Structure formats: structure tokens, C-alpha cells
Structure 1
Amino acid sequence: MVNEVDYLSIISGARHDWLARCLKPCFGFLSLFYGTAVAVRNRLFDWGLKRARPVSVPVISLGNLTTGGTGKTPLVAWLSQWFQEQGISVALLSRGYRALPGEVNDEKLLLDRLCPQVPHYQNPDRCASAEKAVEAGARLLILDDGFQHRRLARDLDIVLIDAVNPWGYGHQLPRGLLRESKSGLRRAGFVLITRVDQSPPELLENLITEVKQFVPEHRIAHVRFAPRGLVNAAGETRELTEVTGKQVWGFCAIGNPRGFQQTLVDAGGRVCGMRVFADHHHYSAGDLQEIGSEAERSGAELILTTAKDLVKISEQKLSGLPVWAVEIGAEIVQGRLILRKSCGKRGWWSQRNKSVNT
């Protein structure tokens, strides 16, 4: 009845037409069933009636309370690179959400470029992937988007919360974007609040107060995503100053398009238009032709997208306009040292490595 973009506009309150007014109560009713099912499943794991499957090496999970849009990919890359610098053999495990049959999804394509030395296993059965990774020599596993995937035991759960939209419009799926209630944060070993630079200080302070109800303050860190440069489909790079003062037209298929639009503004661009597709959208030739035509009509000088979107297209120009992706880097602006200690110096880490090495 509605596509993903329309769905988000309805649950966010951006749409007020008759369809939105009819669907919101329906979504709310369905949320009751969804929330009950999730709560029962979590209790079964909490009480030991369902058991998580352990593996012989440490496992760190990065996940969300909400569906998508918190910036996991650059943080997965940051964490993988940090462990590599410590001389630890790392492997990534992910589900492969919305990958085409026989192919991998955009997140793997991007992580393969950002972390070329790190094996990445995509399989809905992440327990099977874990065994395969350990057999191949991995000494630490990073579980991407794994907070609700409780079948695989983990040693540390890192949960990301987007400061711009922390609680998914305040409701569980499908009325909102919460995968489970806020109380699920009690399982978290560490919380990363992302996009802190895009949130008003008073709202950020309120969010921290809410999170502290479930996680101690010393296990909360703050993250911003800073634009670092431009890259195109040929792998060519440009300084970010190429965007400054230019008329730019953006497109993306990510969980938080509003955050990307703010990134373009932060990079110095004058945004004259934006096309938003459903998260993980696979671009057709028709899509790209429309993007080029719309950008040309808007008077844009550059077409900008995300690194996650760029890996799915090969064109360097659309309607004669250069296409560049804005490269983003994760910066932990508060709590970096504590996060590193949580990942690398905890008792579980030394104990696990002792068993692996023997």
C-alpha cells in the first residue's frame, strides 16, 4: 500500500492526509503484538529457556535499538581497524540484509573497501558464519547489527543510539522504528550516542539522562561523523573544499537521510535538491537517469551521495554532472579511552585469549 519512504513520512508525523490518519492506529495496534512477541523472546533468553550458542573466540556485537540509521558501518570499520592495529585477526559477521540473490549487500561492499584485510561473512545464520570464521583463523569476531540476534553468544554488546532520532519516533515497529523497548539497553555493555554534533545541547542532555536509567554514565561515549573528502566510482579522490559554496544535489538510500543532508551542509554545499530512496535500494538505470535529470533541472553543479550508495553504481557522471560520494569518518569525541578499555582490557578478553592460545 505504501513504500518505505511513504511509511517513514507517516510514522514520523510528516504526513497528515487521510491515509496517514487511517494507518497510524493500525500500526499502533500491530505494535502491541510485535512488542509482546519480542518481550517474550527476550525473556526466554534471559531465563535460560533459550540458550545462546558460544564460540571459542571473543565476540563483540554492534547493534541498535531502532532499525538502521545510527552509523554502524563507519564504527564497524573503526573497531576492525583498531583491533588490526593490535595485531588481532578479526572477522566480520553480518546478515546480508536486502542483498540480491547470489550477491552481497551495500554494507559489505563498503566494508570490503574500508577494511580490505578483514574477512566478512554474510549469512542469515550467523552461528554458521562464526564457526567458518574461527576455522579460517579469526581470533575475534565483530557481529554487525547483532543486538537482537541473541542466538550467537557475545562477550560485549555495543549499542548505538542516534541523537537525532534516538527512539524511532517513540514506538515499536511498525508504529515506530524501535525493535524492542528502551529497557533492552540493560543488556548493553557500552552505548555509543552518535551524531551528537547534530543535536541541540539540551536535547542531548535529556537523552543522556534517559540512557543513564539503563547504562552507567562511564559506559556511554559520544560520536560524531565528520566528512573527510570525496571519492568517485573510479576511486579518484578530491578535497572536501570542492563542495564549498557549490550548488549540490544529493541522493541516498540509507536509514537516516536527514543526517546525510546535514552532512552536505556541514561540508559547505548549498543543497538545491535531494532524492531519498528506501534503505539499501538497488539503483536501476532508470533511477540514475531520473537522478541526473532532476539534478540538472535544479541547477546543481555536483551530485553527491554516500559511500554506501556509491558502491552500487559505476557512473562517474549523470547528465554530465560529476557524481561524488562524501567520505565519512567516525570520531569518538567523548569516552574514547573507556571504549578502548572495554574492548581490549576487560577480564573476559584476557581469559578468552588464554583459552584460544592454548
Structure 2
Amino acid sequence: MDRIAFHRLIRGESRGPAAILARSALRIASAGYGLGVGLRNARFDRGRGVERAEVPVVAIGNITAGGTGKTPMVEYVCRRFREHGLRVAILSRGYGATEGLNDEGLVLDANLPDVPHFQDPDRVALARIAVEECESQVLVLDDGFQHRRLARDLDVVLLDALDPFGLGHLLPRGLLREPIGSLRRAGVVVLSRADLVSEGERSAIRSRAERAAGPLRWAEARHAPRDLLDAEGVAEPLDRIRGVPVVAFCGLGNPEGFRRTVLGLGADLVAFRAFPDHHPYDRSDVDDLRRWAGARGASLALTTQKDSVKLRLSDLGPVPLRAVRIGLELIGGAEELEGPLGRIAELAR
């Protein structure tokens, strides 16, 4: 079953006896998964198997499978530490990479050229390398909430306002990587894409999280478009696309967030396509995208920076292709995040 069909199934969009039976089987599998997660967390809660780095560690993570905006948050946190004059390194597993950096790593490398990025499943070993070889003073652990083997001084956990609780079920019946109550381990919870839902919805999300996990340090953020980039990294202003007929596509865990971003920029979105997260574009994909963009009468094609670093194209045939570069912007509770980051910066000096 491909990713799209799987998501249709767990969201209840697939109907009929076979779909009902499949969801029942997934619910049983979720119980086994939940038992495993509980046992694993209990072991780490007792400190078993946990190793501490020589410098402070900040982990950026989530409790759901899919995109919640971790990469913009990693960039935000690294920039804050660099403003304090600290040497920072990023540690990540490197999911989806065959050689070199994966797509998120390429984006971070482009946007943070002065921050080294290490990728390997063994992030304890990476921490030693970063400290010994780069003399890093603080480490930022990307997608690290579930990677509990490396001790951290602060966990920043993101919830996506468009789907904060992964359909309310653990994997594989839903998209939760661990129970909502696990948020009690978070130092700060940040509701990403908070600008795309109402104030009432934001309040309801926080209430549900705190019913499960107790009082939480809470901040809210949006993905703020910065500019448009071509394949060479040349930037253009965002107002270029206002009122212009565009097509847009992406390979993200949450493609709806990107679609709404494009609409929010005032573009005339004539067509939109979503690929699976971490999609490895090949020649046939590019040829298909060229036909698709050309047939829609668009003046411009838009994608994400995460997709652009893999495609490395500035046009799809006669249609120019640009990436919308995104930055994280806090819109509420900024002090709830900035305070702990400041304390980590003092600790790292």
C-alpha cells in the first residue's frame, strides 16, 4: 500500500468492509506499538542507556509522523545561539539520505553555512565528534524527541495546528509516534502553523494537550515566507507572485500547509500536486512536472526549498521554477521559548 492510500485508510476516507477490517487490524497493531513505546520510555525515564554530551543539548522534535516544521525551528534555534556568539552543531539521523546530507540537511546547510551538520543514526557518537573536531559549545538535535539515548537540556516539541494529534491514534492506526501525555517531557511546546487556524482552535489544541500532559510552557509560531529562490540561490521578492497564475507542488509530510502558504501570498493557484514526504525526484518526475506545468497555463511554478535542493532546476520547460523560502516566526508566547534558550546559552559559555 502506498503512502497516499495508507493515509486515506487511516483518515477514514476509504470505505467498505475491507477498509473497516484493515483499520481494525491497524488498531490491534497500535496496541502492540504502544506497549513497546511505553516500555522503552520507562527504561529511559529510569536513566538506563542515557549518555550525556560534554556540552548542552537542545532537541527539536514532535509526537507525530509527518511534517510539523522541525527544520525551520532547528534553523531558528541555531540562529539564536549564533547571535550569542556560540559555536553550534546540528545532529540528525539523516532519514532518507543515500549519500551526503538528506533534503532537510541540504536546506539547513544552505541557510546556515556557518553551522556544521552531522548525520548518522548514532547521535551519541556524533555529539563526541562535534565537540572534539568542531569545538561546538551547544548541540541541536534534529528530530530528537524520541531519540532519548542522548541526554538533553531542553526539549522543544512542535505540534502542527493543522493536525496536532495524528488522528488521535498511535502508529499504525494513526500518526502518533507516542501518546499525547508524552508532552510532559517537553521543556516548551510550540504550536506551528498557528496562523492557519482560529484562536478558538488554538485554545482547544492547548486544552487537549494539557489535559493529557499537565501544564505546559506554550508558544505559537507561523511559517513566514521570506523570499523566492532559484536553483542558484538567487533571491527574489515575494510580491512577484501576487495575482500571478502559478502551479505549486511539494513532497512534505503536511502538503496542505504549503498550499495555504502559496494562497496566502496572493498567488492565483491554478493547480497543486503533493508527492510523498522525502520524495526522490527522478527524470520521469521532472518530465511529468514539465508537462503538467505547461498544460496549466501557469506563469510560474512554486515548490519548497526542501524539494528545490533535490531538483536543482530553475525552470520546468518554459515555466520558471522558484522555491518559497520559509522562516519560523513566533506569534505568541515568545518568552516561553526565548527564556529557556537564553539559559542554555549562558550554560554553554
When the two structures are superposed, what TM-score results if normalisation uses the length of structure 1? 0.93
RMSD (CA atoms): 1.5
Worse-matched range after superposition: 19-28 or 232-241: 19-28
Indicate the residue corresponding to 1:269 in structure 2. Answer: 267
- Tell me whether 1:36 sits opposite 2:35 in the alignment: yes
Residue aligned with 1:157, SS: strand
- Say which is worse superposed, 294-303 or 222-231, in terms of deviation: 294-303
Which of 127, 130, 136 is the matching residue for 2:124?
127
The answer as to whether partners of 2:181 and 2:209 remain within 8 angstroms in 1 is no
CA change 1:215–1:145 in 2 (3 A) is farther
**Is the partner of 2:310 in helix, strand or coil?**
coil
**Contact residue 188 and residue 336 of structure 2 kept, 8 A:** no
SS in 1 for 2:311: coil
Listed one character per residue, the Cα deviations across residues 239-260 of structure 1 (whole Å, up to 9, x for unaligned) are: 1111111221111111110101
**Distance in structure 2 (CA, Å) of the matches to 1:57 and 1:89:** 11
State the SS of the aligned residue for 1:311: helix
Q: Is the 8 A contact 1:158 1:192 kept in 2?
A: yes
Residues 190 and 215 in structure 1, CA contact (< 8 A), matched pair in contact too? no
Task: Report the CA distance between 1:52 and its aligned residue.
Answer: 0.9
Residues of 1 paired with 2:19 and 2:296: CA distance?
Answer: 30
Q: Is 1:188–1:215's contact at 8 Å kept on the other side of the alignment? A: no
Q: Which runs of 5+ in 2 are unaligned?
A: none
How far is 1:212 from its partner? 2.7
Query: How far is 1:294 from its partner?
Result: 1.3
Match for 1:118 among 115, 118, 128?
115
1:109 match:
106
Are residue 99 (structure 1) and residue 100 (structure 2) matched?
no
Among candidates 156, 171, 174, match of residue 172 of structure 2? 174
Instruction: Please report how far the alpha carbon of residue 171 of structure 1 lies from its aligned counterpart in structure 2 after TM superposition.
Output: 0.7
Q: Paired residue for 1:15?
A: 14
Q: What does residue 208 of structure 1 align with?
A: 206
Q: Which residue of 1 aligns with 2:278?
A: 280
Determine the C-alpha separation between the residues in 1 that align with 2:272 and 2:19: 23
- The number of residue pairs the alignment matches comes to 347
Q: Does structure 2 retain, via aligned residues, the 8 Å contact 1:5–1:276?
A: no
Shift of 1:43: 0.9
CA gap of 1:112–1:215, structure 2 versus 1, over 3 A, is farther
Offset at 1:19?
Answer: 5.1
Which deviations, in whole Å up to 9, do the C-alpha atoms of 1:252-283 show, x marking residues without a partner? Answer: 11111010100110011122212211111110
Residue 292 of structure 1 and its aligned partner are, at CA, apart by 1.4
Runs of 4+ in 1 over 6 A off after TM superposition: none
Aligned twin of 2:150: 152
CA distance in 2 between counterparts of 1:145 and 1:174 reads 19
Query: CA deviation digits over 1:74-121, x for unaligned, max 9?
Result: 111111011001011100000000111x23200110000110000100
Aligned mates of 1:286, 1:337 — CA distance in 2: 48
Pair 1:199 & 2:187 matched: no
Equivalent residue of 1:312, what SS?
A: helix
Structure 1 unpaired stretches of 5+: none
Per the normalisation by structure 2, the TM-score is 0.95
Amino acid at match of 1:276: A
Question: Which residue number corresponds to residue 294 of structure 2?
Answer: 296
